Structure 1
Amino acid sequence: MKKEECFYLGRIVSKFSFKGEVLAKLDTDEPETYLNMESVFVDYNNNLVPYFIEKCSLHKSDLLRIRFEDVASEEEADDLMKADLYLPLTLLPKLDGDRFYYHEVIGFTVIDSNFGVVGTIKSINDTTSQALFEIDNNGTEILIPMNDEFIQKLDREKKEILITAPDGLIELYLS
């Protein structure tokens, strides 16, 4: 399994018991969604290694307490500290309406209600305080904040996102 075929689920943050249990901080608002996993991919030395789950429960409502098969001691759990967890993209819950996962809108055409066709989304920059659409407009990069107030409609069939950007924002990149 390659990372491109997976989504980031979270990270192992600490050991929980002397029996090898670990606590994972998940990158989700609904950790309970992942209580019935059979396995997870652990990023171990830059390889995704499948680990089968023996037992899983919520710990203090936002951490997942995991007991992996074949991890039965603190020493074995030490090897997994700070490791990232991944699941195949096929296991992501489907979103509807105007909600979307970042990876699914790559390649979508952005259309502004005033400007018209802005360009194609080449990536999402989520390293800033406000996530940004990185849009290619004939070789020019346009950055538009991913703000609910700007996004008017998402059309998965047409692979389009209709937005209303603030006045002058798009033109700023093209002048």
Structure 2
Amino acid sequence: MEGYFYLGKILKLHAAKGALLIHLDTDSPENYTELESVFVQMNGQLIPFFIESLEHRHNNNAVVTFADIDSTDQASMLISCALFLPLTMLPPLTGTRFYYHEVKGFSVMDENFGEAGIIEEVLEYPHQAVLRVLLKGKEILIPITDEIILEVDRETRTIRTRAPEGLIELYLE
């Protein structure tokens, strides 16, 4: 969903009167304690729902009640639906931390190799996320680790890296 980010998922009914248990897929659930609304994905569309109450629990879970949802029958229609928020609601990151969507189009400057290309996207694999970079029509995959990502310069739209020796050259052969 362009312009939105995935916040979490509706897990199940909670008690009576339409309350729902949700899971917030975030490192910082405390950033979302004062939400007034969320977008619920239903049939491929994002539908706004206004929040009446939101009570955080453990393990990034929370109990939510939505305005105009006042029965378990109505609430059960929302189980397993994904929750989204506009990208403008993401808290800013600093240092070498970045949102994956944020770095698309950034240049990569490697300490050893030099200009390593432009980031096309971030790919998420089960054990590792990587920058998919294009250089002269060739694809280069650079792991996202604290040892490799040295600096994220949002002003110049550049990421400075220290890729393992020979990694970038391997893709260019």
TM-score range, shorter chain: over 0.9
**Amino acid of the residue matched to residue 165 of structure 1?**
A
Contact kept, 8 Å, 1:132 with 1:146, in 2: the verdict is yes
Three-state SS of the structure 1 residue aligned to 2:102 is helix
Q: Structure 1 residue 82 and structure 2 residue 84: aligned?
A: no
Aligned partner (choices 142, 145, 156) of residue 144 of structure 1: 142
Residue 61 of structure 1 and its aligned partner are, at CA, apart by: 4.8
Aligned-pair CA distance for 1:73: 1.1
Q: Which residue does 2:111 correspond to in 1?
A: 113
Q: CA deviation digits over 1:52-81, x for unaligned, max 9?
A: 000001123520110000111111111101
From 4, 7, 12, the counterpart of 1:6 = 4
2:97 aligned with 1:104: no
Question: Unmatched 5+ residue regions in structure 1?
Answer: none
Q: Map 1:6-85; keep pairs closer than 5 Å.
A: 6-85=4-83
Structure-2 separation of matches of 1:48 and 1:62: 22
Give the TM-score, by structure 1 length: 0.96
- Unaligned ranges ≥5, structure 2: none
SS of residue in 2 equivalent to 1:153: strand
Q: What residue number does 1:133 align with?
A: 131
Question: Aligned equivalents of 2:149 and 2:29: distance in 1?
Answer: 27
Out of 37-46 and 125-134, give the one that drifted further: 125-134
Partners of 2:96 and 2:129 lie apart in 1 by: 16
> How many residues of Structure 1 are paired with residues of Structure 2 in the alignment?
173
TM-score w.r.t. structure 2 length? 0.97
Where 2:75 maps in the other structure, the secondary structure is: helix
Q: Distance in 2 between matches of 1:155 and 1:124?
A: 17
Alpha-carbon RMSD across the aligned residues, in angstroms, is 1.0
Say which SS state the counterpart of residue 48 (structure 2) adopts. Answer: strand
AA aligned to 2:115 is V
Output the amino acid matched with 2:97. R
User: Secondary structure in 1 aligned to 2:2?
Assistant: helix
